[in-house]
Structures are given as structure tokens and as C-alpha cells.
Amino acid sequence: MHRFGAILIVSGPSGAGKSSLIKAAKNQIGEYYFSISTTTRAPREGEKDGVDYFFVDHETFEADIKAGEFLEYAQVHGNYYGTSLKPVREALEAGKLVIFDIDVQGHAIARERMGDLITSVFVTTPSLSELERRLKSRGTDDEEIVKKRIQNALVEIEYVTAYDFLIVNDDFEKAVDSFIAVAKAARLKKGRKQALSFVNRWRES
């Protein structure tokens, strides 16, 4: 039986520990592809094409928009950013788990377009004050950016009910175990098309 991959969407406020969870769980969730964005902006120092972003020119990006090759895209400061479906399709066909780290708007669009292939998890801190503490202790952002991240978090938390799972990243080890369980559940979930083809094969064999 050909194993088709699955999609896992991870959302949550900046500072909730999404990247750390994915890194800590990576050896226990099987083969996966971490979806990276495509952008028309120039690479920053140290950024690699195909690792941090897929870097393309405006013409290529706009041609792909016309061809319907983006799951979602936006224009920010004159540059395009988007999630290209090409690498996602290839990874799914190779039987990999495709992990998206996208915001609540991206999750809503993905649900609309690929509904029953998707499992989603919202990762957050136990409280708003704990999120603020973590953002400040990271020391990577100035006061204004921390404020903006807090404002975004207050909006994002309203969308928790739209997700299949919620992980409160309080005890990191427990949160990692939960993330592994969610990734495994995502692999077990069957889209409608896959389920129907299984039923047909089951009847015939």
C-alpha cells in the first residue's frame, strides 16, 4: 500500500517554543519535511536558499500565483512571501509528514484548501505573563517588538478552538512527548480520498 504523507500545522505565539519542540522531537516523528516559505526578498547574510527560504524573482513568484501554486501568500514591504505547494506535494508523495509553522490566518486558509489532510496543534505558554517573561528573557527583540508579539498573541489565543490539539508548553519534556503523540496521530489520519481508495481496495482483496 502506497503511503501518502500527512500535514501537521503548528501555530502559536512567538516565544511559545514551537521551533524547540520540533527540534527536540525530530528523531522520533519519522521522515518529515519542514515547509519553508518562498520569498522575493534578497537573502540576508548567512541565509541559504532551500534552507531558510526559497529565494525567487518577482516574475517567477507571480507566474506561480497565476498557476495556483501557493497555499497562501502575502506582500510585505514590497516583497512576496508564500507557501509553495510544489515541495509540499513532493514530500507528501514521498510519504513524509509535512510540518507547517504558520499563523492562525494561514491555518484557516490551509483548512479551506486541504481540510481533511490536516492535523493542527496550537502551542502556547501557560499564561500571558509567562509569554512576556520568555520574550523578554530571549533578549533578541526590543521593547516595541515584544509589545507587538504580545498584541498578536492576544489575538491568536482566540483561535485555539479551531485547532485539533493544544499543547501548553510548561514542562518542556512533557510538551515534547505530547508533540510526538500529535505527530503520530497526524500520520494516522486519513484524508477522504485515501479512505475511499482504501475501502475500495479492502472490498476487492
Q: Give this prediction's pTM.
A: 0.84
pLDDT digits (tens, 9 = 90+) for 41-50: 999 888 899 8
The domain locations on the chain are 1-31+96-205, 36-94
| 36-94 has CATH 3.30.63.10 classification | yes
| 1-31+96-205 has CATH 3.40.190.10 classification | no
pLDDT digits (tens, 9 = 90+) for 97-148: 999 988 888 888 888 887 778 999 999 999 999 999 999 988 777 888 889 9
Q: What is the C-alpha to C-alpha distance for residues 120 and 165, in angstroms, rounded to an integer?
A: 6
Give helix 128-138 / helix 143-156 axis angle, nearest 10°.
150
